[in-house]
Structure 1
Amino acid sequence: MTLNKHALYINARLFIFTILFAVLAMHVHAPARAQSPGTFTLGNKEFLLNGKPFVIRAAELHYPRIPKEYWEHRIQLCKAMGMNTVCIYLFWNIHEQKPDVYDFSGQNDVAEFVRLVQKNGMYCIVRPGPYVCAEWDMGGLPWWLLKKKDIAVRSMEDPYFITRTQKFLKEAAKQLAPLQIQNGGNIIMVQVENEYATFGSDGRYMETIRNSVRSAGFDKAQLFRCDWSSNFNKYQLDGVATTLNFGAGSNIDNQFKKFQEIYPTAPLMCSEYWTGWFDHWGKPHETRSVNTFIGSLKDMMDRKISFSLYMAHGGTSFGQWGGANAPPYSAMATSYDYNAPVGEQGNITEKFFAVRDLLKNYLQEGEILPDPPAEKRVITIPEFELNESAPLFENLPPGKRTETIRPMEDFDQGWGRILYRTTIAASAAKRKIVITELHDWASVFIDGKPIAKLDRRRGDNTVEIPASQTKLRLDILVEATGRVNYGKAIIDRKGITEKVEITEGSGLKEIKDWTVYNFPVDYNFQNKYTRFSSRQVTGPAWYRGKFILRETGDTFLDVSTWGKGMVWVNGHNLGRFWKIGPQQTLFVPGVWLKKGENELLILDVDQPSSAKVAGLAKPILDKINPDASLLSRFIGQNLDLSNEVPVSKGEFGPEEGWKTIKFDKAHTGRFFCFEALSAQQANDPLTTVAELELIGDDGNNLAPLKWKVVYADSEEVTASNSSADKVFDTQESTFWQSQSSGAKPSHPHHLLIDLGEVVSVSGFRYLPRSDKKTGGMVKGYRIYLKNAAFKF
């Protein structure tokens, strides 16, 4: 009996010891799981977590770009990479798709995402906007704001925008405020707006958003704002920490030099360290080398500078959510792979191991680097045919009459396609139709026959129509390819936003009396009006097919033989496709597939070359069709400056950063020519320019919304996405580069921009490339400005 009691005593002690050890282990491995209140504050040149120095190593993840079933897997990958924090945006337009109808459930359950972050021992940084950019439709702002004709966003000009913003922030705080660290959660910081200095400098607006964030319920967490090293001081915001954003390969000391002069005791943080970049339709796949990326990250770790990897894992812009940049207009691809450490499918890349290998040397007290979770299963699907089709023109929804052309928002449509139909009078002569503000891509038909395709990226707006002795039916089918998510062009209504005119005599006459047909993106709509058959079709149409699976897993749908449109699998919207590339596949999460019969539905507004698809084991993200070239120079075209007189000439110094040149007097003109005569390094044939800004008479920069590159003697569009229009895309980390692959043309290099109207220019600003490389930095230059076009 005594022996049994002793054994029970020993077993009890072992059991208690085991429980205590497990609890301790939980605390060591997952410090963010603690439910007791904590603190996160600003110290002297450092962040303080519960009173102790803390270096943030954050991973940016976007919950809408990851199927909910995969959320925890991606979080665990980030922890295994060496991260102690996850950074997230809140996407207003996905949570409030109709005014006052809020959805934080299912795939939109952001609180559940944050709780999963805490469950896995990590802290969270929340960026609620209202604007987030993120290469997301309208930068996260809801499309229905555009139903207000005079809407003004991101400013104090429009009380309606401020009121709607405050309502959304309150709803978001209901979900997340209880998860602030001071309440026992894991949210340590909350951002105020996003990169506002690239848009404006109104301190009153930022104060209003700061106060709105606090009053909504984020009144305990440390607030912060993020901007760039070149513009963070355009406004002041008391009570809010300041952080900087910059890209792979940046010179860390230079990025923070001015910041430290102004904020000598502030903690240093790169709130977006760009691991790669996003892809545009029709442009080369973006990559950033591991060596360039990892070097600057090590520099930050050696200096105990906090960071957030943007992106740690990009994911996919499913459905209609991909955005666009402007100027010039350029829509984002569906894949948001971003060349990030964790690939689009959740696959581990070379960058992942490079980051993990680096950060293992910088772990803080109590941290242990876990093994990565197993990667998700990948399957292939044999090629099969979509053997049912439904022509769009034979499956129209009810039409709506309108006297004048109106954008799709006026018809309560947020995304998708819109068809404008009218009748034009007979004419014995050919005529032209001119479309003002086509957003974004259109097919034009006369009596059901296609006569033209128009692309906003190229500025297409004119179609020639044939002579006819009878009336003609005119159809203009417009596809929206993503609202602008960045800069002043963010007010981006879709469809045809102004007017359609036809030549009459020597002038133009507006066409009126239209019937409009709306084609939204909802899966239920696609089935409601479509009558499928097995006959062959031409032109815009839906296609449907079935495939059988014995097992499920992730796959990549090969859509390389299709034209332009959207895909649904078992009711899930995979996103947009476009034959021009660089993306030729669409990611299909295995959790959206099922054993047995699966349905595939494709709407192609162009024309497939083959109505077949297959599921591949790897994506195709880097294949551009050569007929989609947007080069700014025709074969044999050469700019003639022999009789031109420059308005300014000189040499730039070798130092980095913005350089401002003032003219001796103001000059007027519509066509601006930048001539690079030489580079800073001797015998360097390259020219690289990150940004060019023109200064008006009032000392302010001229808006580039109407600008268009009409000539560049050389552009690198094969080895990298370094086309000439990068000089006014307001993205400091991208740049125009003369050809660096193959033959390298020598100086001089020329860039000619049509400013869209005659303007008065008193000077210009030039920004060299912002990475550590110096190749192509301009030394000698000449500037030309003319009212009339230059000669070739």
Structure 2
Amino acid sequence: MKKIHLLLLACLCGTLVFAQPSQVKNANTFAIGKESFLLNGKPFVIRCGEMHFARVPREYWLHRLQMAKAMGLNTICAYLFWNVHEPKPNEFNWSDMADAAAFCKLAQQAGLYVILRPGPYSCAEWEFGGFPWWLLKKKDIKLRTQDPYYLERCKIYLKEVGRVLAPLQISNGGNIIMTQVENEYGSYGNDKEYIGKIRDYLVEAGFTITLFTCDGPSQLKSDVRDDIFSVVNFGGNPEASFKYLRNIRAEGPLMCGEFYPGWFDSWGNKHHMGSTGGVIKDIKYMLDNKASFSIYMAHGGTSFGLWSGANCPPFLPQTSSYDYDAPISEAGWTTDKFYALRKLFGQYLQEGETLPEVPAANPMISIAPFKTTEVAPIFSNLPKAINSVEIKNMEEFDQGFGAILYRTKLTADAKNVDLNIKEVHDLAYIFLNGKKIATLDRRRNESVCKLASVKNGDVLDILVEAMGRVNYGGYLHDRKGITQGVNIVDANGKSKTVENWQVFPIELQNNSIPANLKFTKGSSNMPAFHKGTFTVSKPGDTYLDVSQWGKGLIWVNGHCLGRFWNIGPTQTMYLPGPWLKEGANEVVVLDYIGGKNGLQGLEKPILDSLTEKVENKKHRKEGQTLDVSNVPTTYEGSFANGINQQTIEFNSSTEGRFFCIEALNSQNGRPYASIAELYLLDEKGKELPRSKWKVAYADSEELSGEDGKADNVFDLQSTSIWHTQWQGSAPKYPHYLVIDLGTVQKISGFKYLPRQDADNGRIKDYKIFISNTKFKGL
């Protein structure tokens, strides 16, 4: 009779069973003990780092894995992205940079175990959180629920994952020791039966090794099941986070599933950096307490092609560079963080372990400045038109990526009219009779532009560029193009729906440019493809400087390097040496807004150069003072100390547009205030949408020493916070934060997530004020 792994038996019995060392004697075993993981029957501390093979050129997989091993890791954690492996329903891809089995085998060759994170949902700042776009073709689909169609597709996908990767489990002589069930589900929902179904699909697919879930400290209660092992994610303060894990999991090894040494970047915001000292301190604490961990990211790499995702609200598309300020840089270089960790890990090696030599960096080259010489304007290279009476989104035209052009002829003369587009996803370039008149940007909730005077027969073109789909939170159902409709609003405010469109889906791919483009000599400031060549005497890695261009995508020898945008913070694009060839190389640039046409290859990246006027200015003008003395107090209370999310219910619902929290003092008596996340609750106790929220006032924000802007309280990230000023002056309590909800709402309470990484700034006593009109002083 086949031996069944202890955790699989636990899953089938409905109870998590802990193995004893005496129970695990056979070679090639991994199990959960009461106090530690057991590898081949012996206690084992997992020193893991996250690395996504889809973000690394296949030719460099072994190099990056050897770098991780040399840093001192014994395990690699790897997401599978469903949209990479099933680009079309029932058409699976395990080739080239999608060859997960080859990656796992190379990890074993490098002396590393693997923790597998197959999804179906991944997040990871990846397009749609890893979901394939075609799921959105079903209009009523409900992702991450027990929606029958969604579950059916999950089961098909996970069965295929098992076919390919289950043979590589440690019990079969491979190196996969753990497999994750879903991902951070507690930040999205609380249906534990759904988690159980995903677990069952993995078991049916052949995964007999340890299955686990992960989440942040305050979200664990929403997805932890007694029959699945659980780990906790955090970016600091391991002692407090592990205490929270112990409150719901009294026995078993402690593990941090994601420990953040840096952070990802979004367009228009500064490049994020993580403190090396803080990273070393927290990992040393875990090592001293024999706690396992996975560094997210050990090596970030690059979201090549159209794979970078977005957060919402507010809508913040992420950069293609996924450098993450990780210990191993985007190009695979060592960093100060790398060597600090290598030194630390060298003090905690297990019996028989040694640190290998650090692999040499791959050679870098520079490329002399050059220009493109040919152009193919988008409007002159349109695909066949599709006639549609109503506006429809991309997915309804069976389109996954790229841009889409909506064209119509106006049918009446009018003066002083507005064009109102309901839900631009994500940037709309507006043209009237071939002349560009406006750009609408979803990041700023822009939906209206002036058309001035129009006449019967005028041609209206709306070119919509799709950025990455939302990858985290409640706005996952992120369909692209124009998602609701287009109206013309006259000078009297009368609105008329615009119909009868010609639609041109401009599908873009990761490894090819659109077919049949007609290039001619010259350049253009209209949306266009630009082509040129450059010569390389000996291929090597380089960073392509795209700072002279506007916004778009770039392909070199058919490989899409990703998105560029001159607003920054990144102004370069990583170009791996294996994608170059000796002699002439072809470059194609798609630019939606036009630029100066120059390119060159640099040996170092430009990761932090913002050119757009940053709107992260302080939300308090010089001398401005808020006055709430004439507003009745809606509620007052005290927050409990600690990292737990707290739900506050008012005695009755209150109506208002402006929400003010007055922080009266802190838990530790210091003058600082901080908040990680705020959610308001409607009259039924459900979270109100935050997409229209704006900070109307914050009496103090730290913007120099750290990213402490007040907008962080509704950016969906528990690791980013509003923090009052500490560098320079440190204003005393009380501290005020006012949020404009955009419209009048009924509010029955709120959820408050305190700062997670440290106790500094955690609020104790507070008052809440809600008003239909602006508070005095705003």
TM over 0.5: yes
Structure 2 counterparts to residues 594-743 of structure 1, below 5 A: 594-608=581-595, 610-629=596-615, 631=617, 633=619, 641=628, 643-649=630-636, 652=639, 655-679=642-666, 684=671, 686-717=672-703, 719-739=705-725
Taking the aligned partners of 1:104 and 1:613, their CA distance within structure 2 comes to 34
Cα distance in 2 for partners of 1:398, 1:154 equals 36
CA shift for structure 1 position 700 = 4.6
- Whether 2:209 is the aligned partner of 1:224: answer no
8 Å Cα contact 2:217/2:643 also seen in 1: no
User: What is the match of residue 214 of structure 1?
Assistant: 203
CA 469–513 in structure 1, closer or farther in 2 if over 3 Å, else same: closer
1: distance between equivalents of 2:497 and 2:725? 44
1:482 to 1:469, Cα distance in 2 relative to 1, 3 A: closer
Q: What residue is the counterpart of 1:234 in the other structure?
A: 222
In 2, the alpha carbon distance for the partners of 1:655 and 1:223 equals 29
Seen in structure 2, the aligned counterparts of structure 1 residues 766 and 345 have a Cα distance that, compared at 3 Å, is same
Corresponding residue of 1:169? 158
- Work out the CA distance in 2 between the residues paired with 1:742 and 1:555: 40
- Among 364, 367, 377, the residue aligned to 1:391: 377
Question: Within 2, Cα distance between the matches of 1:120 and 1:211?
Answer: 32
- Alignment partner, residue 593 of structure 1: 580
Name the counterpart of 1:785: 770
Determine helix, strand or coil for the equivalent of 1:114.
helix
Q: Residues 346-495 of structure 1: matches in 2 within 5 Å?
A: 346-495=332-481
- 1:325·1:484 contact (CA, 8 Å) conserved in 2? yes
Which protein shows a greater Rg? 1
SS of 1:600's equivalent in the other structure is: strand
Native 8 Å contact 1:391 1:542 kept in 2: yes
Paired position in structure 2 for 1:123:
113
Distance 2:511 2:112 in 1: 39
TM norm structure 1: 0.91
- Residue 324 of structure 1 corresponds to which residue in structure 2? 310
Distance 1:96 1:781 in 2: 50
**TM-score, structure 2 as length reference:** 0.92
Larger mean Cα displacement after TM superposition, 269-278 or 725-734:
725-734
Moved more, 688-697 or 706-715: 706-715
Structural RMSD (CA): 2.2
Q: Distance in 2 between matches of 1:678 and 1:520?
A: 55
- Equivalent-residue separation in structure 2 for 1:538 and 1:562 (angstroms): 10
Q: Secondary structure at the match of 1:124?
A: strand
SS in 1 for 2:535: strand
SS of the residue 2:218 aligns to:
coil
* Cα distance in 2, alignment partners of residues 655 and 634 from structure 1: 29
Q: Which residue of 1 aligns with 2:54?
A: 64
Report whether the alignment pairs 1:146 with 2:136: yes
Output the CA distance in 2 between the equivalents of 1:744 and 1:613.
45
Q: Distance in 1 between matches of 2:339 and 2:661?
A: 43
Match of 2:35 in 1: 45
Which amino acid is the alignment partner of residue 150 of structure 2? F
233-242 or 164-173: bigger deviation? 233-242
State the one-letter code of the partner of 2:152. Answer: T
Q: Is the 8 A contact 1:284 1:720 kept in 2?
A: no
State the one-letter code of the partner of 2:232: L
Shift of 1:183: 0.6
Q: 1:498 to 1:254 in 2, by over 3 A?
A: same
> Alignment partner for residue 127 of structure 2, among 137, 141, 148?
137
Report the Cα distance in structure 2 between the residues aligned to 1:362 and 1:285, rounded to whole angstroms.
32
Distance 1:43 1:494, change over 3 A: same
Aligned CA distance change for structure 1 residues 198 and 461 (closer, same or farther; 3 Å): same
1:203 Cα offset (Å)? 1.2
User: What secondary structure sits across from 1:213 in the alignment?
Assistant: helix
Give the structure 2 partner of residue 9 of structure 1. none
Compared CA separation, residues 121 and 730, structure 1 to 2 (3 A): same
Q: 1:480 to 1:223 in 2, by over 3 A?
A: same
8 Å Cα contact 1:285-1:720 kept in structure 2: no
Quote the offset at 1:718 in angstroms.
5.3
The answer to whether structure 1 residue 205 and structure 2 residue 206 are counterparts is no
Counterpart in 1 of 2:566?
579
Aligned to 1:556: 543
Residue number in structure 2 paired with 1:532: 519
Which AA in structure 1 matches 2:508? V
**Contact 1:672 1:754 survives alignment (8 Å):** yes
Contact preservation (8 Å) 2:261, 2:279: yes
Q: Provide the rounded CA distance (Å) in 2 between the counterparts of 1:482 and 1:666.
A: 37
Residue aligned with 1:224, SS? strand
Secondary structure of residue in 2 paired with 1:401: strand
Could you list the runs of 5+ residues in structure 1 that have no partner in the other structure? Answer: 1-35
Aligned to 1:10: none
Task: Quote the Cα distance in structure 1 between the aligned partners of 2:378 and 2:493.
Answer: 36
Q: Give CA deviations for 1:642-676 in whole Å, capped at 9, x if unaligned.
A: 53333124555665543444434331223222234
Alpha carbons of structure 1 residues 469 and 128: separation in structure 2 relative to 1, 3 Å: closer
* CA–CA distance in structure 2, aligned partners of residues 112 and 380 of structure 1: 32
Q: Which amino acid in the other structure matches residue 284 of structure 1?
A: K
**What letter is aligned with 2:770?**
L
Distance 1:398 1:487 in 2: 36
- Contact kept? 1:396, 1:529, Cα under 8 Å: no
Aligned equivalent of 1:507, options 471, 494, 507: 494
Any stretches of 5+ residues in structure 2 without a counterpart?
A: 1-25
For 1:786, give the aligned amino acid: S
SS at match of 2:443: helix
Percent of residue pairs identical: 48
Distance in 2 separating the partners of 1:201 and 1:527: 43
Q: Equivalents in 1 of 2:660, 2:739: separation in Å? A: 6
Check the 8 A contact 2:261/2:275 in 1, yes or no.
no
State the distance in 2 between where 1:317 and 1:591 align: 17
Local SS of the residue matching 2:196: helix
Distance 2:226 2:687 in 1: 27
Q: 1:747: Cα distance to partner?
A: 5.5
| Cα distance in 1 between the residues matched to 2:699 and 2:478 | 31
Which string of whole-angstrom CA distances, capped at 9 and with x for unpartnered residues, describes residues 404-430 of structure 1? Answer: 111111111111111111112343421
Tell me which moved more, 722-731 or 91-100. Answer: 722-731
Counterpart residue identity of residue 51, structure 1: G
Structure-1 residue corresponding to 2:180: 191
**CA apart distance, 1:448:** 1.2
- 1:338 and 1:715 mapped to 2: Cα distance? 24
Distance in 2 of aligned mates of 1:84 and 1:363: 10
Q: Secondary structure at the match of 2:415?
A: coil
**1:342 match:** 328
Letter in 2 for 1:704: R
Asked if structure 1 preserves the Cα contact closer than 8 Å seen for 2:674 and 2:762, the reply is yes
| Range 413-422 or range 567-576, more displaced | 413-422
Distance 1:700 1:464, change over 3 A: closer
Deviation for aligned residue 1:137: 0.6
Aligned residue identity for 2:520: S
Match of 1:314 in 2: 300
1:159-205 CA distances to partner (integer Å, 9 max, x unpaired)? 11101111111111111110011111111111111111111111110
Report the 3-state secondary structure (helix = DSSP H, G, I; strand = E; otherwise coil) of the residue aligned with 2:653: strand
Q: CA 1:754–1:530 in 2, change beyond 3 Å: closer, same or farther?
A: same
Question: Distance in 2 between the 1:722 and 1:423 partners?
Answer: 48
* Structure-2 separation of matches of 1:719 and 1:495: 39
> Counterparts of 1:763 and 1:666 in 2: how far apart (Å)?
8
Aligned to 2:552: 565
SS across alignment from 1:489: coil
Residue 14 of structure 2 corresponds to none
